[in-house]
Structure 1
Amino acid sequence: KIYTFWNMACFDSEFDLWTIPLVALNMSVRKKLGLYLNPRNAVAADWMAVAEAMGFNYLEIKNYEASKSPTESVFEDWQARCADATVGKLLSILEEVERRDIVEDLRPLMDEDVRKYGENQKKNSKPPLQVPEVDSCFPRTSERIGITLQDHHEGAPERFDAFICYCQKDFEFVREMIRELEQTEYKLKLCVFDRDVLPGSCVWTITSELIEKRCKRMVVVISDEYLDSDACDFQTKFALSLCPGAQSKRLIPVIYKPMKKQFPSILRFLTICDYTRPCTQAWFWIRLAKVLSLP
């Protein structure tokens, strides 16, 4: 039986590449992909052809031209908005635009990233081993149960209308958000990390638990300081991974002061709630409260 190059590339792997999300590819591989695709090439397909195959329209592609690395920006937005943004789909697109040279050169690096990603997933899915003689603290509270002030070990976990993603320098605006949304007729319940989360647990574990299972939505307070926060970066990308294409209005970006830095590319396709425009400021809290009140 004769296989095409793509068939061999797709099947010669211990993992099903169509189920491995694009996030498995690290920055080193993405930068190398940019080195191949960023230069405008009259002979071979460049990043524009790849972006078009991914479903981006003409205006979106033109906007990416201003990026330092259009390829990396396209990949970042693609994985945020599309549920089928997988390593297998990427290889299929590269085959479709006839860039088999990229697959030949970078496939070993991609396979290594996929292998590491698969091993990490298996490791995280297994409960840690515990020797009974070592742990005499019984009973003890599960890390995913006693994580907020109102949690009770015998009752239902505390739930919220929205998780607030913010950095410390924007906390005064978060205080205003609490006053406007919780202490008025809206009576919304916000999850504010510094106020509601109990100390002593793994930050990444409880954050993902709150965003995915305890909060209906997430409000992202965008600012120049937000762009430098690793915690905010993790929370935003995790929330986006739960709602590809923003189909469920799960993530609401908010701007409350002018920015000097570029707005994050992964949020460009979402409708923004802008507090900086005086002409629409009167409607800001009404619009925000309405979307957070939706089921």
Structure 2
Amino acid sequence: MSATKLFDEDLPVDMGKIPLVALNMNVRKQLSLYLNPCSAVAADWMAVAELMGFTYLEIQNCAARRNPMADILDAWQARSADATVGRLLDILEKSERNDVVVELRPLMELDVKRYMEKRNEAPVQVPVVDSCVTRSAQDITVGDGPEGSPELFDAFICYCQSDFKFVHEMIQQLEQTESKFKLCVFDRDVLPGSCVWTITAELIEKRCKRMVVVISDEYLKSDACDFQTKFALSLCPGARTKRLIPVVYKPMKEPFPSILRFLTICDYTRHQAWFWSRLAKALSLS
């Protein structure tokens, strides 16, 4: 079965180029339900982990965990540029778990479609509008130059509205002190009137060196934060460029997001004394 799938006649999508972050929690949960149980007649999570490149010792250490399949997926996603939806489907087929492929492929395709729509969505425009000046691709932030020079930032701040008080403190600590970092805060820096997803992708990929992710229970419910995080992760497979910096500033009731579990956290709740200096150092790395 080919990893390439047609969502419609005009939009071919190569699943082998779609990062694993496109898969939402429902698909990951279903994979765990199918593959966590050890079986003498069908390949389980251990066989899948072996095909993903994990060693015997790594697999044995993971066996003691409550949800080994979920942990293997997270670890594979964090360390391998080969962690794609298409590659996962290939591994399941090589493991002869066609039952899993048949059941979950439609859900995976739906997740991929949503991921691609958010990444590629463009504002609907009438081709020609009288008495209207078309906005340049460069004119997306308040600091963009009059002659087309784009405003660049040290970091994009991923946050939800309920956490803005902490983001405001971050601005004071990182922009208005000796650090003098330039942060991209969407509500402050982005001009109104453009497609949110298109502008967000442009800023994260081309305008900002890093992304600080403010993690909270509210963050977990935000579609915008979910897209921003997954898009940034797709730009740095295996987290080799240290592009994402997760920040926790208050205790959480919900579990920490699994897709960020393998990144080092800057934790304000435990290390207030050196929190800002650690964050500043991380942002200053070349």
Q: Normalising to structure 2: TM-score of the pair?
A: 0.80
- Whether the aligned pair in 1 keeps the contact of 2:18 and 2:86 (CA below 8 Å) is yes
Aligned to 1:170: 163
Alignment pair present for 1:137 and 2:134: no
Query: Whole-Å Cα distance in 2 between the matches of residues 287 and 22 of structure 1?
Result: 29
Aligned residue runs from structure 1 range 254-273, under 5 A: 254-273=247-266
Q: Helix, strand or coil for the counterpart of 2:83?
A: coil
Query: Whole-Å Cα distance in 1 between the matches of residues 158 and 122 of structure 2?
Result: 29
Aligned to 1:113: 109
Aligned to 1:147: 140
Count how many residue pairs are aligned between Structure 1 and Structure 2. 275
How far did residue 43 of structure 1 move?
2.6
Amino acid corresponding to residue 62 of structure 2 in structure 1: I
Aligned to 1:90: 88
**Unpaired segments ≥5 residues, structure 1:** 1-8
Aligned to 2:221: 228
Task: Give CA-to-partner distance per residue, 1:183-210, whole Å, 9 cap, x none.
Answer: 1111100111111112221111111111
Bigger radius of gyration: 1
Query: Whole-Å Cα distance in 1 between the matches of residues 121 and 162 of structure 2?
Result: 36
Amino acid corresponding to residue 273 of structure 2 in structure 1: A
Query: Whole-Å Cα distance in 1 between the matches of residues 139 and 256 of structure 2?
Result: 36
Structure 1 residues 39 and 11, CA gap change in structure 2 (3 angstroms): closer
Aligned to 1:99: 97
- Whether the aligned pair in 1 keeps the contact of 2:123 and 2:195 (CA below 8 Å) is no
How far did residue 270 of structure 1 move?
0.4
Q: Percent same amino acid among aligned pairs?
A: 65
Amino acid corresponding to residue 281 of structure 2 in structure 1: K
Amino acid corresponding to residue 216 of structure 1 in structure 2: K
Amino acid corresponding to residue 151 of structure 2 in structure 1: E
Task: Give CA-to-partner distance per residue, 1:124-161, whole Å, 9 cap, x none.
Answer: 599978443xx11343212x322211113413111100
Aligned to 1:282: 273
How far did residue 93 of structure 1 move?
1.6
Which segment drifts farther, 39-48 or 222-231?
A: 39-48
Query: Whole-Å Cα distance in 1 between the matches of residues 148 and 92 of structure 2?
Result: 51
Aligned to 1:160: 153
Amino acid corresponding to residue 175 of structure 2 in structure 1: E
- Whether the aligned pair in 1 keeps the contact of 2:80 and 2:238 (CA below 8 Å) is yes
Aligned to 2:188: 195
After superposition, the CA RMSD in angstroms is 3.4
Task: Give CA-to-partner distance per residue, 1:42-99, whole Å, 9 cap, x none.
Answer: 3322223323432453477347x434xx645654664454322234322332244342
Query: Whole-Å Cα distance in 1 between the matches of residues 105 and 265 of structure 2?
Result: 40
Q: Normalising to structure 1: TM-score of the pair?
A: 0.78
Query: Whole-Å Cα distance in 2 between the matches of residues 47 and 158 of structure 1?
Result: 46
Query: Whole-Å Cα distance in 2 between the matches of residues 137 and 62 of structure 1?
Result: 65
